[in-house]
Amino acid sequence: MARAALLVLADGRFPAGGHAHSGGAEAAVKAGRITSAANLEDFCRGRLHTAGLVAGALAAAAVLGVDPGDLDAAADARTPSPALRTAARRLGRQLMRAARAGWPCDELDALARRFPKGAHQPVVLGLAARAAGLGPDDAAYCAAYESVSGPATAAVRLLSLDPFDATGVLARLAPELDRVAVTAVEAARRVPDEGVDALPAASGPLLEVGAEWHAAWPVRLFAS
């Protein structure tokens, strides 16, 4: 058990398939909602407080030992877009491979067997964090950070945005990220008593609609 495992898990170069996904940024760029660092920040803030919060709570609950099947069903219920559910499962399957290589254990093998086509990515992320000896707060931070780092990196590629501006966006969101992680862990801690309904169910309708639109494009750079 080593806290530094969090750095390995949260590293953008961790080979878990994330590089091929824009977190909704490609659809938002095409729709004209992301055009600059300023509205990239708005987009990321929205994603952090909706998809990021939900992902953080799911991941934290998985670290706390909540049944991954219950969490996967809860993630399904919180993801209206079929395209996003497919993307989340694909990313979960890809993360599973990297996690099993990094922190091999029976619990991850069992999850891989139970969900051969992948569980929702935040659920796998939580179990990976648990396998690495990390805590629920670590998993929540990792999930919440991924919810904004993915779109920020994608926007650099899609808009030829100045990478320093994109990094500035992430840095300015850090205090909010702290608060989202705390809220996510608080919700996750209520799950053993109250069930998965205690998990947040925030969602950004435009993210869901945009994902369906994006999935129908014949030509795109990112898988989601």
Partner 1 sequence: MHLDHTHSGPAALSADAHRPDGSHRALRIGLGGPVGSGKTATVAALCRALRDELSLAVVTNDIYTREDAEFLLREAVLPPERITAVETGACPHTAIRDDISANLEAVEDLEDAVGPLDLILVESGGDNLTATFSKGLVDAQIFVIDVAGGDDIPRKGGPGVTTADLLVVNKTDLAPYVGSDLARMAADAKDQRAELPVVFQSLRRERGVADVAAWVRERLAAWTA
Query: How far apart (Å, rounded) are the C-alpha atoms in residues 57 and 78?
Result: 12
Q: Which stretch binds partner 1 (CB under 8 A): 34-42, 99-107, 168-176, 189-197?
A: 99-107
Q: Which amino acid is at 185?
A: V
d(C-alpha 44, C-alpha 215), whole Å: 20
Binding mask 103-122 for partner 1 (x = CB under 8 A): -x----x--xx--x------
Query: Which range in 38-46, 76-84, 86-94, 187-195 contacts partner 1 by CB under 8 A?
Result: 86-94
Task: Based on the shown chain and the rule CB under 8 A, indicate whether residue 220 belongs to the binding site for partner 1.
Answer: yes
- 85 is an interface residue for partner 1 by CB under 8 A: no
Cβ contacts of 54 within 8 Å, gap of 6 or more? 75, 78, 122, 199, 200, 201, 202, 203
For 13-25, b where at least 16 C-beta lie within 10 A, e where not — what string?
Answer: ebebbbbebbbbb
Binding test (CB under 8 A) with partner 1, winner from 1, 4, 13, 193: 13
Q: Footprint of partner 1 on this chain (CB under 8 A)?
A: 13, 15-22, 90, 93-94, 97-98, 100-101, 104, 109, 112-113, 116, 154, 157-158, 218-223
